[in-house]
Amino acid sequence: MLKEIFKPTLMKVVFAFGVAVLYLIIVYSIPYFGLSVSYKGDSLFQTLLNLTVSVTVITLLYYPMSCGLFGICAAIKKKSEWWSLLIPILVVLLWNPVTFNYMLKVLIKPKPSTVVNQQTEGCSLSVVSISDFSLADDAGLRVGDVVTGVDGVKITSVNDLIANSQKKQPGDKTSLETDHGIIIVELAEDPQNGGPVLGVKFKEINCR
């Protein structure tokens, strides 16, 4: 029975591919749904390669769910005994976009940063706006997010964030500790002076 359920067919593969594409669109456009992701590479080829690999891997991961759904339909069409529906139903219940997304969030948790600066006085930073040239939006940073640390160091003012960025070059990555997880942002090039910049406007909140 299992052999019949998981037997490859064009319809099963196409269905799994469609679910994979839909899943990636949702995750890319709505970071809060699951993971904050960006498929932009250093070149068009790298970007297309990233997308191709992601779609292929997730299609393979969703293939069991596709088989389960087609197995249910086949069992109903043949008017099989009720117990013959158990295996495909279990496959669908245990391996679908909702449970798979939950497993990703559990298994791929960002490692908590080690806070070097133990200062207790200062402020948190709230995102007010993101510039058009900034890459922070692609990384998943949103207006209203609260930033409390950068590169493993607790920040207490906007000046701390600026000082950290000035130590780097455009294209370097910086790790922002936010109220909904760690976001890796690539520094953009300041249109005015060519220096490294996040391109994000903050306001200081929760000062103590």
Q: What residue spans define the domains of the chain?
A: 2-107, 124-205
Stretches where the chain sits below pLDDT 70 are 1-6, 27-42, 72, 75-98, 100-101, 103-122, 208
Give the model's pLDDT for residue 104: 64
Q: Which ranges constitute the DSSP H helices of 78-204?
A: 86-94, 97-107, 136-139, 158-166
Give the model's pLDDT for residue 34: 43
Give the model's pLDDT for residue 120: 43
Class of the CATH-defined domain 124-205: mainly beta
Give the model's pLDDT for residue 91: 62
Strands 173-178 and 153-154: unpaired
Give the model's pLDDT for residue 118: 42
Q: Which two tokens stand for residue 70?
A: 């087609």
